[in-house]
Amino acid sequence: MRKLAAFESVTMDGYFSGPNGDLSWAHRPEKDSEFESFVANNAKGGGVLVFGRKTYEMMKSYWPTEEARKRDPVVAERMNQLPKIVFSRTMDKADWNNTTLVKGDLPEEVRKLKNESGDGIVILGSGSIVSQLAEEGLIDEYQFVVVPVVIGEGRTLFNGAKKKLPMKLKSSRTFKNGNVFLTYEPAT
């Protein structure tokens, strides 16, 4: 059975996106070679990337570009090569390389994916998907990059959660740029 992880950047005050979907806070101006190496090594892993429509559109507008290939060549290569699934009820087609559009019932489709053989599955961004799948108990691991910034308003990752989701810390890692990488798993 495949494992499903959610990889998210969040602010110190708990937001995963700012007003109007702003993510500029997630990009630190100071360089940290250790963090950059961590991101590149993380991207080298295999598996399937999962997105909701908004995150898919944002990622598709950046990663296939020349700018992405210049700034983050390893990550750009992997983002463009890895198989991707976008869950959307409103899209008619998904034309980014190696992308499959799925319109079916989200939890049911994810259960099917998890029961297939193969590499793991990673949700990037896509807060509404994370919230829904967390409540269904389908996420095996939560990976958070806590960025040392307070933005005051935005959207929380578990917005709309209707029940408590106890977590157990698996690991943590601090970087020179102030980012902290936390890995949790459901405590139940």
Number of domains in the chain: 1
Is 29 domain-assigned? Answer: no
* pLDDT tens string 16-67: 999 988 889 988 777 888 998 888 788 777 789 999 999 999 999 999 999 9
Is 127 domain-assigned? Answer: yes
Q: Which helix (H) or strand (E) holds 48?
A: strand 48-52
Is 28 domain-assigned? Answer: no
Is 181 domain-assigned? Answer: no
CB < 8 Å & 24+ apart, contacts of 79-82: 79/43, 79/49, 82/46, 82/47, 82/48, 82/49
In this prediction, residue 54 carries a pLDDT of 92
Is 31 domain-assigned? Answer: no
Is 69 domain-assigned? Answer: yes
Instruction: Give the contacts of 114 (CB within 8 A, at least 6 positions apart).
Output: 1, 2, 3, 4, 121, 138
Domain that residue 96 falls in: 4-19+47-176
* pLDDT tens string 111-144: 999 999 999 999 998 888 999 999 999 999 999 9
Is 42 domain-assigned? Answer: no
Is 145 domain-assigned? Answer: yes
